[in-house]
Structure 1
């Protein structure tokens, strides 16, 4: 029998969840395998945490899931715990009524302060994953192709895939801080590319629109940003279920994701490593 995760029980205590759930389970595996879509709303996440706190959490191995045997009570949702921050990520995420699977996750760290800032997880529609092997640069894929070159990532992001980055702060912050970090990286990526003056003007306009979508406010630890590269090529941003805006610019959408898939200076090396391993496992 799994013992309840103390971190999650502490969260439940702070949330004043009063319902006591008595559960007795015998589990024959160390993975949790119910395929449950996780929505963006905070209310549903709290309910899921309540289930996890009562039943106990086994960190899911999200590519080789097997079915546990229970004596009673329904299965728990699948989640993965980031080892650096203990933040939880669902294996399946639903955005705009589309179910997506976790590819990998990792923490962004400010190295000179040795401080964890946030955790990012990347999600992809399962049906699109099967299309990756058909791409020329993804044939005979191994993770070194992502870690040592940008060619696979560039080809990947040129496709009309519906992709999502789920970003969860590991400490309280504000939207200005996050916004300025994104704008700085995107602007530098623009400067590093061979673009015409007219192309730069269009891109700068898109970056400015993206910047304006960040409403000035405090951002709590363990809250949720959802950034989606739509099939049409736009970049949609949601915070705690609130749509903050969509910028219809393919350069912006692609380069936002390249911030995390860039092999030379990714925003999170831990995330890039896990993305590469995730793709390798999925394409075996």
Structure 2
């Protein structure tokens, strides 16, 4: 399922867990696995392969409960531009590369988290993050509208082990790294 968002394409697709023999990266906190790359020719990376840039876990710390693991994939060319600086603050050039290139975000629920709860929590966390970088009420309203579109795109029922949110050339301010 896909939608246009202000000249950008946004889609959501279901995906299965990594298959045996596939190179994977384990999220260090939740131990959930993500493929190290999304191969060219697939629905998610039709023209060129996308490489895993990083992953992390959303947790409810006071309950010691993991909600989901998220992985960010970028074009290999854009990932090489960044290099191996995982422990360093993101350079401005990398932020620009992320904002200007196609990307995929893979969300994997931990255990049996309901996708509706995952979606609502993800949207709340994303809005809170974006609100911090907002320049005013008009910007907040635009962000709310985009998040509403995102909610509508992934409001249908899921039977997959993970979902992929496909962002292509989103607004520069949409994802504040």
- What count of residue pairs does the alignment treat as equivalent? 159
Q: Which residue of 2 aligns with 1:91?
A: 36
Alpha-carbon distance between aligned partners in 2 of 1:218 and 1:141, rounded to the nearest angstrom: 35
Alpha-carbon distance between aligned partners in 1 of 2:166 and 2:118, rounded to the nearest angstrom: 17
Alpha-carbon distance between aligned partners in 2 of 1:115 and 1:85, rounded to the nearest angstrom: 10
1:128 to 56, 61, 78: 78
Q: Which residue of 2 aligns with 1:105?
A: 55
Q: TM-score normalised to the size of structure 2?
A: 0.70
Alignment of 1:165-184 (within 5 A): 165-184=105-124
Q: Which residue of 2 aligns with 1:192?
A: 132
- Deviations along 1:122-160, one digit per CA (max 9) or x if unpaired, are 222112223347xxxxxx9573324xxx856644433x2
Q: Which residue of 2 aligns with 1:214?
A: 154
Is 1:144 the counterpart of 2:94? The answer is: no
Alpha-carbon distance between aligned partners in 1 of 2:123 and 2:74, rounded to the nearest angstrom: 24
Alpha-carbon spacing, 1:141–1:182, altered in 2? closer, same or farther (3 Å): closer
Q: How far apart are 1:207 and its partner, in Å?
A: 1.7
Q: Which residue of 1 aligns with 2:68?
A: 118
Q: How far apart are 1:200 and its partner, in Å?
A: 2.9
- Deviations along 1:19-65, one digit per CA (max 9) or x if unpaired, are xxxxxxxxxxxxxxxxxxxxx753xx57x3xxx3xxxxxxxxxxxxx
In proportion to residue count, which structure has more helix?
Answer: 1
Uncovered stretches (5+) of structure 2, i.e. residues with no partner: 1-13
**Larger RCO (CA within 8 A; separation ≥ 6):** 2
Coordinate RMSD, CA, aligned = 3.1
Alpha-carbon distance between aligned partners in 1 of 2:24 and 2:86, rounded to the nearest angstrom: 25
Alignment of 1:75-90 (within 5 A): 76-90=21-35
Does structure 2 conserve the Cα–Cα contact (< 8 Å) formed by 1:174 and 1:219? Answer: no
Uncovered stretches (5+) of structure 1, i.e. residues with no partner: 1-39, 53-75, 134-139, 234-248, 259-284
In proportion to residue count, which structure has more strand?
Answer: 2
